[in-house]
Structure 1
Amino acid sequence: MRITALETIRLSEYPNLIWVQIHTDQGLVGLGETFRGAQAVETYLHTMAAPQLIGQDARRIERHSKTLLRGYLGFNGSGVETRAASAVDIALWDLFAQSCGQPLYQMLGGLCHERMRAYNTCAGSDYNNRSVQRRTISKGQGGVRGRYDDQVAFVERPEELAQSLLEEGFTAMKIWPFDTAAARTDGQFVSAADMREGLEPFERIRAAVGDKIEIMCEFHSMWNLTSALAIARELKALRPFWSEDPIKMDSVQALADYRRLGGLPVCGSETLATRGAFRDLLAADALDVVMVDLSWCGGISEARKIATLAEAYQKPLAPHDCTGPVVLMASLHLALSSPNAIFQEMVRAFVNGFYKDLVTELPVFDHGFLLPPDRPGLGTSLAEGLRQREDACVRITRA
C-alpha cells in the first residue's frame, strides 16, 4: 500500500485546526489532525514530510514515526515538526486499520474496556477554536449565552452547571477558575481576594451536589511554584480529582516538589511531547495521572508507548481533547485499548456543536460513557462538502 499524495485542509472559520489526508494506490485515504500553528504545520507537511512519505509503504508506521518524530529535525519538541508528525501518524494508523477492515482499537490490541468514562471540560462553543486567544471569564463579566456555554456557567452559576452535567450522565467535570487571577499578575502572586474567587465555584458545586461529581482543576501552567502551592493548600479541602499542569511542565524537580508539598494529585500534560518527557516526570515521582494529546505528543505511535510507560509506573492514563473531532476519535481508540485508561476528555459544547459540521461520525455518548466505534479505522471522515467550502484552503503534494 503505497502513499501517492499528502493533502491538507484547513478552514478560516477554525484557524487552529488542520487536517491531513494521506492517499494510497489502493484508493484508501487516512485522516489525521493537529491543532495550533496550522499554516506553519501545513508548510512543513508539504515541504519536509511529503517528500519523505510519498512512494513509501503506508504500513511502515513505526519507520515513518521514527523518521518524522525522532529524526534530525523536530527531536523531542512539541512544535511544528512534532505536530505535523502527529497528524501523519494518526492518518497512517487510520489507513492500517481500514486496510484490515477493523476499528483502530483492534489494531492496538483490542478492547480493554467495553466503554470509556468521559469527563466534560467546561468550555464554551467558541473556546480554543475560532481564536488563538484563551477566553478567561471573571465573575459578573457576562451571562450564559447558550445551553453549552459552560465556561461562563462554571463562574456564574456552577451549581446549575454541575446539576446539568449529572442529568446528562457525566460524573466528572473540569474547570479553571484561577486563570483570570493568574492573568492579572502573570502567575507571580495570588491575593486573598483572588484566592476566594477561585475557590468559590468548587465550594458551590460541593454544596449543591456533594461528591456526586468529580471536579478536576486545570491551571494551564500559568502559576509559579510558590503561588501554585498556596492555591493547593486552600483547594485541598474541596477534594479536586486532580490538579492539572499547575506550573510550567519543564521543571521536573519543581513539579515533584509541588506534588509532595501541595498534597494534590497531579495530572500532566497535554503540552508534553514524546516519551522522554514523561519518562523523566514519572521517574521523579512528579505525576499521578498521565495525560497525552495525540496531536501534540507524536501521534498514536508515541502515545501508546507513553501509555505503556505510565502503566509500568502504575499510573492511570487520561487522553486529552479540547481541540478537534479527529483527535477525539483517535484518543478514544487509544483509551479503549489501554488497560490503565480511566477517562477520556470531551467538551460537550464541541461535540454537540461545531464538531458535527466537520466530520461524518462522532463517538456515541451514553450515560457518562463513550462507546467503542464500530467502523473500520478511526470510524470517521471529513464531512461531505468540507473541502469545497469557500473558506477552505486545500493543498495537495503528489509524486
Structure 2
Amino acid sequence: MEVTDYELFEVPPRWLFLRLETSDGTVGWGEPVVEGRAHTVRAAVEELLDGYLLGEDPLRIEDHWQALYRGGFYRGGPVLMSAIAGIDQALWDIKGKHFGAPVYELLGGKARDRIRVYQWIGGDRPADVGEAAREQVEAGFTALKMNATPELERVDSPAKIRQAEQRLAEVREAVGEDVDVGVDFHGRVAKPMAKRLVAALEPYEPMFVEEPVLPEHNDALPEIAAHTTTPIATGERMYSRWDFKEVFESGAVDVIQPDLSHAGGITEVKKIASMAEAYDVALAPHCPLGPVALASCVQVDACTPNALIQEQSLDIHYNETSDVLDYLADPSVFEYEDGYVELPERPGLGIDIDEEVVRERAGEVNWHNPVWRHDDGSVAEW
C-alpha cells in the first residue's frame, strides 16, 4: 500500500481539509490550517506531499513525521507544523481504517470512556455573558469558556479590571459553583495588567486563566502565577514538544493546550501530553476548528491519562456560515450529553466526512482575524 493521491479543500467558515488516498482505496482526512493563513498552509502541504509522501507506505507514521520535520533545515513554527499536523491526522485515519480500529486503540487503548467538553460564550468582545452562560448550562454543558477582556492597553485603567471582574461575577451568579468557567486572556494582556487581572478574578474561582501573556513572554508566567492560586493554562500558539519544555520546567503552568491542527498532529501532541504528565500538568487541547481537528483531539484525549477537558467549536462566534456538524455524514458522533462526548468506536478518526457537502462548499476562503487598534491608533492584540 502506498499514498497515491491527495486533494485539499478550503471550506467555510475558515478551515482547510486534506483528503489523502492510498493504492488500495483507503481515504484518510486531515485538517491542516492556520486560521487566516489557509492559502499559505495549503502551499506547505502541497510541497510536503509532492516532495516526499506520494508513493510512500502510509503506515510508517513516525518515520514520516521525522522526515517531514527534520528533512528541512528550517523547522517549527505555525505554518510548517500545521501542514505536518494535517498530514499526520490523515495518516492516522488511514492506519486506523487499515487495522479496523479507532486511533486510540493503536496508541495504547482507552484511559476513559468519555471526555468532558466546554462551550464558548460571549464573543470576541465579551458581552451578555450571564444570559449566555445560563442558556448553555440549560443545554447540558457543565463547563464554559469566555474571553476575559476586549483589547487592553499595556497599562490600563482600574475600570477595565472592574469590567472584567463584573463579567465573570455575572457568569458565576448565573450558573453557580457547580459549573466550571475558563477565562481566556487571548494574549491581549501585557504582563502588568495580567498580574492585576489574575488577582481580581480569583474570588470567582475560574477553572483556569488561559494564555495570560503571549508565548513569547512565557518567561513572565512564574511571576504572574505568583499573584493567584487559579490554574494557569497556555499552549495554543506553541507548536512542538521543544516549545513546551520551558513552561514545564518553570512549574508555572497547570494546563497545556496544544492544538492538534497546529502542533504536529496526533503524533506530536501525544508526546507533549506524556511530557506534561511527568510534570503533573493536565491536557486540554485547543480546538476552535472543524470536525477532523476535533475528532483528532478526542482520539488523543481517549488514551491520555492527564486529559482534563476538550474545547470544541459548535456554535462558536466564528462559525457564522458553516458549523462542525455540517460536514459529517453522521453528526451523532459529536452528541454531547451531561457535558461529555462519548468516545467514537469507528475505525480511524471515528468520523465519516460527507464528501458531497465538502465539494459543494469548497472554494476560496478569505477569513482573517480583525486588526484592532487602541484609541491612539496603534495596533492592539486581538
User: So what's the TM-score if we normalise by structure 2?
Assistant: 0.88
1:245 aligns with 2:211: yes
> Which residue is equivalent to 2:290?
324
Q: Counterparts of 2:8 and 2:276 in 1: how far apart (Å)?
A: 33
Q: What secondary structure sits across from 2:144 in the alignment?
A: strand
Partner of 1:19: 17
Secondary structure of the 1:10 match is strand
Contiguous gaps of at least 5 residues in structure 2: 366-382
**Separation (CA, whole Å) in 1 of partners of 2:101 and 2:177:** 39
Aligned-partner residue type, residue 292 of structure 1: P
Question: Is the contact made by 1:232 and 1:262 (CA closer than 8 Å) also made in structure 2?
Answer: yes
Aligned to 1:129: none
How many angstroms does 1:258 deviate by?
A: 1.3
State the SS of the aligned residue for 1:109.
coil
Distance across 2 between alignment mates of 1:96 and 1:327:
17
Say whether the 8 Å CA contact 2:327–2:358 is kept in structure 1.
Answer: no
2:308 partner amino acid: I
Counterpart position of 1:40: 40
Aligned amino acid, residue 22 of structure 2: T
Find the residue that maps to 1:43 and give its secondary structure.
helix
Aligned positions of 1:353-368 closer than 5 A: 354-361=323-330, 362-368=333-339
Q: Distance in 2 between matches of 1:19 and 1:170?
A: 28
Match of residue 144 from structure 2 = 173
Structure 2 residue 26 is the aligned partner of structure 1 residue 28: yes
**Are residue 54 (structure 1) and residue 23 (structure 2) matched?**
no
Check whether the contact 1:175–1:216 (CA below 8 A) recurs between aligned residues: yes
Count of residue pairs the alignment pairs up? 358
Q: Deviations over 1:294-351 (max 9, x none)?
A: 0001000000000100011111111111111111111011101101111011233159
Query: Which of 312, 315, 323 in structure 1 is aligned with 2:278?
Result: 312
Shift of 1:393: 6.1
Aligned to 1:219: 185
1:155 is aligned to 2:124: no
Confirm or deny: 8 A CA contact 1:162 1:213 kept in the other structure: no
Please name the residue that 2:89 is paired with: 90
Instruction: Give the distance between the partners of 1:94 and 1:82, measured in 2 at CA.
Output: 18
Does the 8 Å CA contact 2:117/2:310 hold for their aligned counterparts?
yes
Alignment-mate amino acid for residue 64 of structure 2: H
SS in 1 for 2:16: strand
Q: Alpha carbon RMSD of aligned pairs, Å?
A: 2.0
Please name the residue that 1:151 is paired with. Answer: none
Q: CA deviation at 1:355?
A: 1.6
2:161 matches 1:195: yes
Partner of 2:301: 335
Tell me what 1:389 maps to.
Answer: 360
1:300 to 266, 276, 301: 266
Separation in 1 of the partners of 2:355 and 2:86? 20
Task: Please say if residues 32 and 84 of structure 2, whose CA atoms lie closer than 8 Å, have aligned partners that are also in contact.
Answer: no
Say which is worse superposed, 101-110 or 292-301, in terms of deviation. 101-110
Name the SS of the counterpart of 2:178 in structure 1.
coil
Please report how far the alpha carbon of residue 206 of structure 1 lies from its aligned counterpart in structure 2 after TM superposition.
1.9
> Deviations 1:201-230 (Å, cap 9, x if unpaired)?
211122233202111110111111111101
Q: Name the structure 2 match of 1:119.
A: 118
Report the CA distance between 1:233 and its aligned residue. Answer: 1.4
Cα distance change, pair 278–333 in 1 and its aligned pair in 2 (3 A):
same
Distance 1:301 1:73 in 2: 21
Aligned residue type for 2:127: V
Residues 31, 199 of structure 1: CA spacing in aligned structure 2 closer, same or farther, 3 A cutoff? same
Counterpart AA for 2:77 = G
Bigger drift between 255-264 and 58-67 goes to 255-264
2:32 partner amino acid: T
Quick one: percent identity of the two aligned structures? 30
Which segments of structure 1 move beyond 6 Å, counting only runs of 4 or more?
Answer: none
Q: Counterpart in 2 of 1:71?
A: 71
Rounded to whole Å, the distance in 2 between the matches of 1:320 and 1:20 is 20
| 1:281 aligned partner, one-letter code | V
Secondary structure in 2 matching 1:173: strand
Shift of 1:105: 1.4
Deviations 1:12-66 (A, max 9, x none): x43x311111110111011000332111111122234322001111011001111
